[in-house]
Amino acid sequence: MGMIIDASEATQQVVSELLAKNIALNLPGLAIVPLPKFLETAKKKPLSARDRVEICDQAVIILEQCYAHLAFKRARYAVDPVQRLRLLRERLDHKDEISFHSEIVNIFTDLRDVQTMYVLPPPFNAAIAFLPFLVDYYFDPGIKFVVTEIMEHFNPDPIDSQEARMMHLTGFQVGTEILAFNGIPIQSAVDLLAQQIPGGNAATRRILGTKRLTVRSLSTTIPPAEYVAFIDYMANVFDGDGTLRQERRTIAVPWHVGKGMGISDLQTRSDETSISICAPLVDLARVKSVLWRNHELLETARLANVEKGSFVTTLPHLIEVHHSQDTAMANFVDDDTAGEGPGVVTWQSLLSGIDQTDRRFGYVRIKSFDAKFHVQSEFQASVLKNEFIGILNWLNDNGFASDGLILDIRSNPGGPIVEAESMLELLTPERVTPALFHYPNSDAVQCALNSLTQVQPAPFITREFENWNDGKTHGVGSGAPITSGQRITPVDYANRFGQIYQGPVILLVDAATCGAAELFAAGFQDHGIGPIIGVDENTGGTGGKRWKHADEVRQLDQVIGLGIKPLECGASFTTAISRSSRVRDKLMQPIEDFGVEPDLRHELRSSDIPNSRALIQFAMKTLSNIPSYSLSVESYELTGEQLKVIALTSPNIERLTCLLDKVPEFVKTDLEPANGTRRTEFSFIWKGKGRLELQGFAKGALLRNGKKNENGTLELVASTLRFPKKAESA
């Protein structure tokens, strides 16, 4: 057996440094203790027999009356969670505290739905068990697991002197390959953990299992079974003569549990509406910022000191911007911030794999759609959408993305559904058709729909169910498991601003792309905006709308009388109250479990860890083969009722059409050929009323879901609504 390193002191040093910075981190309640001490505390406040009975009873009501996927999951996985809960209720006396919680968690886990979960009571709620490093995987060609981040001050090197460390390294650092976890080969260890994690497909369970290997939210899962994790890894060691060799070693790292990190307690925010989100991924992102990148919470200078030519976003926790001409943003890496040190990748080095290094590509990463969602009038955009509009206009005005845009939503946990779906219109000339949603066809939902016929229905019922009161919703007696499909995002709301960016777009996704981010990906693909590149086989498979037991379900109960009541012990549930389905060519196909399959695959390689170098190069090469279109209005002049317009188009646009209130008013097909930007003048009668839109068409060149249109027909490739707004004001 190789060297075994005890990392207890190194881990305690990390904890001490964190606790010393709690005030600076604005985390006054931060507390971190060893796992055994946390479990001793938990044993002092066990659930009563009454608490256990109430948890089982409330879970049965919620799953039977509010869970949209119950029939689907029963048929797909041969599970019966309701019967399991009833059986558990009859043998509560045979369960200790941890085994009871474990049984409830397992019942919900077997549904394979990360939006439908049992939320444990205090002290488990909002607690995080962690080891001081993170692990990710790549394929080269078989799957390999490597260390991607190590907490600051974690130095388990047993060598005392600095000189000795220069020649004898533990090798436990970023890039170190993990071989085994607690004596189990690492891939098997991840597979075993993935079986304890909700997720509708193998790719989702694999990526979530990897993420939870060293970080586990105790809000929705039981604590680790072991107090100390033994990790086998391959160390690079220099012999006395300077020869480099590899040596298998084992490091023993104790688990710690932290609270007061500001993570979600799964309670409703005042601005929350129509949420589709993966709460464990939200918690993980927050914990990473506290434990692994807490310097970000202290640092503001980087944003203040970026050079001219960089876009300084007002939402750095949600969105990240780069472009291929930006020397200031040389520290681009694939994660929540620009990094420093080994592994730094510049855009110039990424471009080295492209034949034409003068190409101009933009990169926008949307980390989450979970911004404060509030719109006061139809002329305003939400906070995140308004930021995205500003970024696209900035890229357009400076020509920073003239050859294409890479849009990255990997590991995006979701957020408000309307927020995500309404942003699609900024990338396509076509009208966006939002996804459909279906409620469970239960007695409770039918009662809610029937209550809409009352003189004054409850405001909550009106807000949530009014669109489904269409006369087409099947009654319980029909046997249909779900209601008819209706839209959460109004069609007009999803098409208020029109296309902002007209160049080719590629979307990057992975199996941790969840919730509203999946709805964005599905709409991106269904509307043929561009190819989707996936590093996994599919996205997360979580396309439902989430309710919480403590909030929406209780509001429904106040009208219907389900028997829902708050759990005095502090436990709770989250439930997928509705099921989404896709539109257009994939009409009625569910997102739940299946996710969105990418048009192109790029399995992560060693060169992608930790900075996605090969992936970004692959995306830029793909963009290089997609034609770029542009259409804008150089000037206009309204004289009486005569509107004269001078349009600027790229040479491959063959036809212009001007629509008045969606009706073609003018068509121009004899566009003069040009090598560069083309100026085209036309005029027609306009009485100054109505909404004008200018559209450009090209023949047989538009990529649809990564496939070229070969039938030679003209395709809508670009549109602009910017000039009519000016004309109307004139």
* pLDDT tens by residue, 286-327: 888 888 766 555 543 344 334 444 566 778 888 988 888 765
Q: Residue 197: enclosing H or E segment and its boundaries?
A: none
Domain end marker among 585, 608, 624: 624
Instruction: Identify whether residues 493 and 532 lie together within a single domain.
Output: yes
Based on the fold, state whether residues 640 and 699 are members of the same structural domain: yes
79 in a domain, yes or no?
no
Helix H or strand E encompassing 144? strand 143-150
- Residue 474 placed within a domain: no
Q: How confident is the model at residue 330 (pLDDT cuts 50, 70, 90)?
A: very low
In a domain, 660, yes or no: yes
Distance, CA of 283 to CA of 280 (rounded, Å): 5
Q: Which of 608, 624, 640 is the last residue of a domain?
A: 624
Widest CA span in the chain:
90
| DSSP, res 331 | T
Q: Domain of 595: which CATH number?
A: 3.90.226.10
Task: Please report, for the domain that includes residue 709, its CATH number.
Answer: 2.60.40
CATH code for the domain in which residue 250 is found:
2.30.42.10
Please say whether the beta carbons of 391 and 401 come within 8 A: no
Residues 379 and 427 in one domain: yes
Same domain, 323 and 347: yes
Residues with Cβ within 8 Å of 670's Cβ and at least 6 positions away in sequence, in order, are none
How much is the average pLDDT of 633-655?
A: 87
This prediction's pTM: 0.90
Q: Quick one: pLDDT band at residue 240, thresholds 50, 70, 90?
A: low
Tokens of 486: 């209706």
> What are all long-range contacts of 325-331, with beta carbons under 8 Å and residues at least 24 apart?
325/360, 325/400, 326/400
Residues 670, 724 within the same domain: yes
Structure tokens at 421: 């779906």
Mark whether 218 and 147 lie in a shared domain. Answer: yes
Asked if 497 and 381 count as a contact pair (C-beta separation under 8 A), the reply is yes
Q: Does the residue 612 lie in any domain?
A: yes
Lowest mean pLDDT across 292-301, 435-444, 563-572: 292-301
Give the Å distances, CA to CA, from 449 to 485, 584, 665: 14, 27, 43
466: in domain: no
**For 318-401, where are the E strands, in sequence order?**
319-323, 361-366
Instruction: Please give the helix or strand (H or E) that residue 681 lies within, else none.
Output: strand 678-685
Q: Which tens digits make up the pLDDT trace of 503-514?
A: 999 999 999 999
Q: What number of other Cβ atoms are within 10 A of residue 565's Cβ?
A: 13
In the numeric block, which tokens belong to residue 394?
């900035």
Please count the structural domains in the chain: 3
Amino acid at 320: E
Encoded tokens for 400: 């920073």
Q: What are phi and psi of 666, to 5 degrees?
A: -155, 135
Residue 391 lies in a domain: yes
Model confidence at 273, pLDDT cuts 50, 70, 90, reads low
H runs (alpha helix) in 529-578: 552-560
Instruction: Note the pLDDT tens digit of each residue in 61-73.
Output: 999 999 999 999 9
Residue 84 inside a domain? The answer is no
pLDDT band for 103, please (50, 70, 90 cuts): very high
Q: In terms of Cα–Cα distance, which of 8, 66, 1 is closest to 464?
A: 66
Question: 192-216: per-residue pLDDT in tens?
Answer: 999 888 888 899 999 999 999 999 9
Which residues span the domain enclosing 638?
631-729
User: First and final CA of the chain: distance in angstroms?
Assistant: 82
- How many other CB atoms sit within 10 Å of the CB of residue 245? 9
pLDDT of residue 477: 61
Q: From start to end of 319-467, where are the E strands?
A: 319-323, 361-366, 404-408, 414-416, 436-438
Best-predicted range by mean pLDDT among 54-68, 140-154, 540-554, 617-631?
54-68
Strand partners for 696: 656, 718
Do residues 650 and 581 both lie within one domain? no
**144 and 248 assigned to the same domain:** yes
Separation between Cα atoms, residue 466 and residue 488, nearest integer Å? 10
588 phi-psi bin (left φ>0, alpha ψ -120 to 50, beta other): left
Burial class (CB in 10 A: 0-12, 13-18, 19+), 161: exposed
Contact (CB, 8 A) for 426 and 380: no
Q: Cis omega (within 30 of 0) on the bond before 81?
A: no
- Whether residues 575 and 433 share a domain: the answer is yes
**566, 592, 624 — which closes off a domain?**
624
User: Is 82 inside any structural domain?
Assistant: no
Query: Are 610 and 693 contained in the same domain?
Result: no
What's the pLDDT tens digit per position in 591-613? 999 999 999 999 999 888 877 88
The answer to whether the CB of 112 falls within 8 A of the CB of 73 is yes
Residues 604 and 637 in one domain: no
Co-location of 385 and 313 in the same domain: yes
| Strands 505-509 vs 404-408: parallel, antiparallel or unpaired | parallel
